[in-house]
A and B are shown apart, each in its own frame.
Chain A
Amino acid sequence: MLSEFNKAIQLRFNLLRECTFFSFREATAYAGNNYGNMLSTFFYMTTYLVFIGAIFNKIKTVAGYNYGEILLLTLVTQVCFYIVWSFTISNTDLLARNVKSGNLDLWITRPVPLLWFVTFQKININSLLMDAIPATTPLVILVINNFKEPILFVNLLSGIAVMIMGIVISHCFQFILNLSCFWTGENQNMRNLAFELGFFGDAIPFEGYSPNFRKIGMLFIPSMINSALATSVILGKNSNPITLPVIFVLMIIFMWLNIKIWNLALKHYSSASS
């Protein structure tokens, strides 16, 4: 029994390693486009900082957050964005394309854990190295220069835990919406919608939302957990002891839903060869 379990874990680990190496080789084959993407993310960050700078040129705080705290929120949001972009968006796009073209047939017939495979088929490590580092470096420097308040170690750890669980929730949310491709075939706008919801209000502090909106947001707008709530916990603005357990339960529910809807979607899959 234990040996079976070990084998399953080993298989998943091997898949993860091979997918990462293959994705890296694939990404480095298109160097020109990589530079284009790097330029794009760098410009995005620069223009975003100009936007925040323009707002704080007129005002002192946003929902109680000063310039330094808003920069920290932006940094957390960016870290989440790059992780979700590299792991989730690459794979949801690929899955939708494979379902539409029938290429999923190639994998369904193989002895691999399919959900695990389609979740980690394309790991865009290149994007993390080439896009995230140049784009977030100016932001990190700005945070260091403008952030004055001390951060408690326990808050930092709790915040990182909320962020990681929030990223898992965000992944499940995007993945579940993307599974509509099994029913509709074409679902580009559904993926766009999932992305827009997943990064809704990326500059809005958690305390800026009304209490009711926060409750709705925790369930339907996952970006509120991985960036806004995580930053609030790091800054010590949210010291509610039930926050971590609630987010943990939410993560388990989203993961369970992910598996259930995936199994349902597979039943609806019209194979290209049948």
Chain B
Amino acid sequence: MRFQTYFDSLVLGIRQVSNYRAEMWLGLVTRLIGLVGLLVLWIIIFSENQSLNIKEIISYLLIANSVRDAIDALHLKLSKEFINEIKMGTISSHLLRPINTKLFFYFRFAGSRGIGLVFDFILLTIGIYLNPPKSALGVVLFVVSIVIASGLAYCFNVFVGTLSFWTTEASGLRNVANHFLKVFSGSMVPISYFPDLFKGIILLSPFPVLSYLPATFISGRDISIENIQSLIMSVIWLIGLIPAINYLWLKGIKDYDAVGI
């Protein structure tokens, strides 16, 4: 019965999006243009530096960006749902229901992502086709990293969204998180391009698993000890962040002043 609630919210999300088909397609075109801009830049860079492998970097960028969007770490759109519901006070009606509000928002949002996920899958397939996996271990590590990344992306979304309980408008903070994730997840430039000290610090953070590690593992290009250590660090971050965001959420609800209640 309880799962049915979340399934229904998923279906509701799909219906809502299918009502605005033109908007949905325009959204995809917009994303594609942004990605094309990044690819054009890298093609120009590689045309002048023949020692680097252009096929590998295009494959990397396609995989890294499709993964980051698929797990919702590209624009933290789920956090926007939280921010809007809290800002407008409409979260009150959801809080009164006997459901897990965070999961309800997650499934409702997941339903609105159908076409976007298909698009991500196409980009991922092209990326893998350009630079096929070189080992079974790489594929296994790719799958593991995606699972961990999904959990971490959910935590980041809930964290940013929960901040709305204390600030009237958290969209500026959401943009800060987006900019941070854009560069330090490795979706614009591979983390291996950073100076060694900087790279070492980033690999200890929870960000590389959102793009860099899955894209690196699937190509089998760099299954090094430091990348596996980075994956283990991501698991530690996930274990630490889940209770932290639950605590923050409960504290936020306690501080929340609902209109009319």
Q: Which A residues are closer than 8 A to B by beta carbons?
A: 30, 32-33, 35-40, 43-44, 47-48, 50-51, 54-55, 57-59, 61-63, 184, 186-190, 192-193, 196-197, 200-205, 208-209
CB-based closest 8 A-B pairs: A36-B172, A40-B175, A189-B26, A208-B44, A47-B183, A201-B37, A33-B169, A54-B193
Q: How far is the CA of A209 from the CA of B36 in the complex (A)?
A: 13
Which secondary structure characterizes the binding site on chain A? Answer: helix
Which listed residue, A32, A192, A204, touches B30 by the CB 8 Å rule? A192
Q: How far is the CA of A32 from the CA of B168 in the complex (A)?
A: 8
A188, B23: Cβ atoms closer than 8 Å: yes
A204, B40: Cβ atoms closer than 8 Å: yes
Nearest residue (CB) in B for A33 is: B169
Q: How far is the CA of A37 from the CA of B195 in the complex (A)?
A: 30
**B20 at interface, CB cutoff 8 A:** yes
Q: How far is the CA of A186 from the CA of B23 in the complex (A)?
A: 8
Of residues 27 through 43 on chain B, the ones whose CB sits less than 8 Å from some CB of chain A are 27, 29-30, 33-34, 36-37, 40-41
A59, B48: Cβ atoms closer than 8 Å: yes
Which listed residue, B22, B44, B189, touches A62 by the CB 8 Å rule? B44
Q: A43-B179, A50-B194 are in contact. List 14 more A-B contacts (CB 8 A).
A: A30-B168, A33-B169, A39-B173, A40-B173, A47-B179, A47-B183, A47-B184, A48-B183, A54-B194, A62-B41, A186-B20, A186-B23, A188-B23, A196-B34
Q: State how many angstroms separate the Cβ of A28 from the closest Cβ of chain B.
A: 14
Q: How far is the CA of A51 from the CA of B176 in the complex (A)?
A: 15
21 A-B pairs whose Cβ atoms sit less than 8 Å apart in the complex: A30-B169, A35-B172, A36-B173, A37-B172, A40-B172, A40-B173, A44-B179, A48-B179, A48-B183, A50-B183, A54-B194, A57-B194, A57-B195, A58-B52, A62-B41, A63-B44, A184-B22, A186-B20, A196-B33, A202-B37, A205-B44
Q: State how many angstroms separate the Cβ of A123 from the closest Cβ of chain B.
A: 20
B188, A51: Cβ atoms closer than 8 Å: yes
B34, A57: Cβ atoms closer than 8 Å: no
Q: Which B residues are closer than 8 A to A by beta carbons?
A: 20, 22-24, 26-27, 29-30, 33-34, 36-37, 40-41, 44-45, 48-49, 52, 167-173, 175-176, 179-180, 182-184, 188-189, 193-195
Contacts of B170 in A (CB 8 A): 36
B180, A43: Cβ atoms closer than 8 Å: yes
A59, B194: Cβ atoms closer than 8 Å: no
Q: How far is the CA of A4 from the CA of B143 in the complex (A)?
A: 72
A190, B40: Cβ atoms closer than 8 Å: no
Q: State how many angstroms separate the Cβ of A197 from the closest Cβ of chain B.
A: 6
Q: State how many angstroms separate the Cβ of A133 from the closest Cβ of chain B.
A: 17
Q: State how many angstroms separate the Cβ of A191 from the closest Cβ of chain B.
A: 9
B23, A189: Cβ atoms closer than 8 Å: yes
Q: How far is the CA of A50 from the CA of B194 in the complex (A)?
A: 9
Q: How far is the CA of A50 from the CA of B193 in the complex (A)?
A: 11
Nearest residue (CB) in B for A189 is: B26
Q: How far is the CA of A190 from the CA of B33 in the complex (A)?
A: 13
Nearest residue (CB) in A for B183 is: A47
Q: State how many angstroms separate the Cβ of B248 from the closest Cβ of chain A.
A: 18
Q: State how many angstroms separate the Cβ of A127 from the closest Cβ of chain B.
A: 12
Q: How far is the CA of A32 from the CA of B29 in the complex (A)?
A: 34
Q: State how many angstroms separate the Cβ of A268 from the closest Cβ of chain B.
A: 17
B167, A197: Cβ atoms closer than 8 Å: no
B45, A55: Cβ atoms closer than 8 Å: yes
**Given A36-B170, A203-B41, A63 contacting B48 (CB threshold 8 A):** yes
A204, B193: Cβ atoms closer than 8 Å: no
A62, B168: Cβ atoms closer than 8 Å: no
Contacts of B171 in A (CB 8 A): 33, 36
Q: How far is the CA of A197 from the CA of B29 in the complex (A)?
A: 10
A36, B167: Cβ atoms closer than 8 Å: yes
A197, B45: Cβ atoms closer than 8 Å: no
B48, A61: Cβ atoms closer than 8 Å: yes
Q: How far is the CA of A203 from the CA of B48 in the complex (A)?
A: 16
Q: How far is the CA of A197 from the CA of B31 in the complex (A)?
A: 11
Contacts of B180 in A (CB 8 A): 43, 47
Contacts of B169 in A (CB 8 A): 30, 32-33, 36
Q: State how many angstroms separate the Cβ of A212 from the closest Cβ of chain B.
A: 13
Nearest residue (CB) in A for B42 is: A55
Which listed residue, A54, A197, A208, touches B189 by the CB 8 Å rule? A54
A58, B30: Cβ atoms closer than 8 Å: no
Q: How far is the CA of A189 from the CA of B194 in the complex (A)?
A: 34
**Given A32-B169, A54-B189, A57-B194, A62 contacting B45 (CB threshold 8 A):** yes
B194, A192: Cβ atoms closer than 8 Å: no
Contacts of A190 in B (CB 8 A): 26
B182, A47: Cβ atoms closer than 8 Å: yes
